[in-house]
Amino acid sequence: MRDPFRAICDDELERRWIWISLIMAFVMGGILGLYAVGNNLHPPSNVETIDSSRLHLTEEFAEDNLGVKENDDGSLTVTMVAARYGFFPPVIEVPSDTPVKFRIASADVLHGVHVPFTNATSMIVPGYISEINTSFPTAGKYSFLCNEYCGLGHDSMWSRLNVVPKAEFILVVPEPEEEEAEAEEDVGDFQI
């Protein structure tokens, strides 16, 4: 077979290296493809914009509304804010074998999220809401890591994800009435 690179390169050794570098590029691309398919990784498909500087004024990403919520179909939605240098709320608890949708927005710069040993990974781009749809078959303590360099404190930007066995999971829903009552009590103490 005639070497197709003969037309652009006369030197035999150089042509050999062109082939070697092309083969290396294809092998590396193939490994990436196999890894992505084998680990069930998908490119993010949700395109939803939000004003990152006003997250606290939105209903969904206001501080009181962050955390785990149960949907009508039994799946869970976890709403989180990524900000230098942490994820809020800092500890999340979800049951195993249950569909979980993470909705995460950045309050400042580009962040990322990666949960090692799972397929949960995404960039968190300011101005967009990142969505990750996954479920965790194995109960345990997982780390929720930022994997995009976001500043000097990036190394310590991580939080905890506890996956508890489905039968043991109890969703704690804060009751607003109680909080109000406590607040009134506090004011009463202060006046005395």
Computed from CA positions of residues 172, 136, 58, 82, in that sequence, does the dihedral angle turn out positive or negative? positive
Strand locations in the chain, DSSP E?
Answer: 67-70, 76-83, 86-88, 91-95, 100-106, 111-114, 121-124, 129-134, 140-145, 158-164
**Given candidates 81, 157, 161, 163, which one binds Cu ion under the rule CB under 5 A?**
157
Among 52, 125, 128, 154, binds Cu ion (CB under 5 A): 154
| Shortest reach from residue 78's CB to Cu ion, in Å | 19
Residue with tokens 């939105």: 58
Nearer Cβ to Cu ion, position 86 or 89? 86
Instruction: Give the whole-angstrom CA distance, residue 98 versus residue 74.
Output: 8
Tell me the closest approach of the beta carbon of residue 109 to Cu ion, in angstroms: 8
Q: Report yes or no: 80 and 157 within 8 Å, Cβ to Cβ.
A: no
Binding flags for Cu ion, 87-126, as an x/- string (CB under 5 A): ----------------------------------------
**Amino acid letter, 45:** S
Closest CB 149 distance from Cu ion, rounded Å: 6
Both tokens assigned to 155: 């190394």
Element (H, E) at 173: none
* Binding test (CB under 5 A) with Cu ion, winner from 78, 120, 129, 150: 150
- Name the residue nearer to Cu ion (CB basis): 129 or 150: 150
Contact region with Cu ion (CB under 5 A), list: 57-65, 75-83, 151-159, 175-183: 151-159
In degrees to the nearest 10, what's the CA dihedral of 168, 76, 55, 49? Answer: 150
Q: How big is the site for Cu ion, counted in residues (CB under 5 A)?
A: 4
User: Does 81 sit near Cu ion (CB under 5 A)?
Assistant: no
Q: Which of 100, 146, 161, 163 binds Cu ion (CB under 5 A)?
A: 146
- Residue numbers at the binding site for Cu ion (CB under 5 A): 146, 150, 154, 157
